């Protein structure tokens, strides 16, 4: 599957700042491309939720920095995210489970 990764424009950078500065909690699925945020937690839909446990095992833990690198075409699925030095392709539904707070720099 092809992943789109075009350079940011000034308008896109302004949109990043507006979205991140006005929101207390942002979902990874809604994070603007190339924006950085800090993981607050992962939502489990049931007890011992395997997807929530897997996201936790991959490094989506509270306090970890995450960056949205790119999104796929036609609905933005999958999303390519970076946690630490590792990149993961996640389904948008999986990324929607990750709660974020804005990082100090919205780059």
Q: Could you tell me if residue 69 is inside a domain?
A: yes
C-alpha to C-alpha distance for 94 and 29, rounded to whole angstroms: 8
CATH number, residue 80: 2.30.30.90
Q: Label the pairing between strands 86-90 and 36-42.
A: unpaired
Q: Could you tell me if residue 3 is inside a domain?
A: no
Give which of 38, 34, 29 is closest to 75, Cα–Cα: 29
Q: Indicate the number of domains in the chain.
A: 1
What is the tens place of the pLDDT at every residue in 59-103? 999 999 999 999 998 878 899 999 988 999 999 999 999 999 988
pTM above threshold 0.85: no
Q: Could you tell me if residue 4 is inside a domain?
A: no
Q: The domain containing residue 18 runs over which residues?
A: 10-102
Q: Could you tell me if residue 1 is inside a domain?
A: no
Beta strands in 1-107 (DSSP E): 26-27, 36-42, 65-71, 79-83, 86-90, 98-102
């Amino acid at each position: 599957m092809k992943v789109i990764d075009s350079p940011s424009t000034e308008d896109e950078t302004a949109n990043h700042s507006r979205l991140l500065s006005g929101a207390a909690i942002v979902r990874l699925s809604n994070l603007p491309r190339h924006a950085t945020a800090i993981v607050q937690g992962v939502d489990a839909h049931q007890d011992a939720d395997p997807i929530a446990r897997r996201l936790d095992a991959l490094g989506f833990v509270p306090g970890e920095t995450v960056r949205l690198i790119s999104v796929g075409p036609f609905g933005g699925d999958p999303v390519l995210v970076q946690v630490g030095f590792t990149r993961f392709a996640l389904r948008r539904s999986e990324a929607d489970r990750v709660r974020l707070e804005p990082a100090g720099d919205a780059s």
